[in-house]
Amino acid sequence: MIFNVPHLLLRGWGLPVGWALGRAVARAIQQPLLQRGTVVAGIAAVAAIGFIIPVAATWLLRDFPGSGRVAAGAIGVATFALARGLAPALGPARVGLLAIGATLLLGWIWR
């Protein structure tokens, strides 16, 4: 809700403005209020993600034994370190794919 309400309001505003102004819509987008709004929406999205990650991890790991939770935490820390170090060179999508691959590999080994 924190992210989607402003997002949907912006779309509701942008469609008729873009339709009416055509190619001149860039002037409307450069309004200071919209520039600040994108910053606020970005902060809200990051806050929502920061909240949901531990909630989802707790729910997903509820049936794991203690050692499985430790391994999942280690994978999370390693993924964060890789993302910080490799993302500028590889890009976020490739780092995400590497993290998924590492998680699947470790899960297969863990069996």
Within 13 Å, how many C-alpha atoms sit on residue 96's CB side?
3
Q: What is the share, in percent, of the chain residues with pLDDT greater than 90? A: 0
Residue 64: phi and psi, rounded to 5, are: -80, 150
| pLDDT tens for each residue of 20-63 | 888 888 888 788 877 787 787 778 777 887 888 788 888 877 88
pLDDT of residue 92: 72
65 conformational bin, left if phi > 0, alpha if psi -120 to 50, beta if neither: beta
Angstrom distance (rounded) from CA 67 to CA 110: 10
Contact 91, 52 (CB under 8 A): no
- Contact status, residue 83 vs residue 99, Cβ threshold 8 Å: yes
Asked whether 35 and 8 are in contact (CB, 8 A), the reply is no
What's the distance, CA 23 to chain centroid? 31
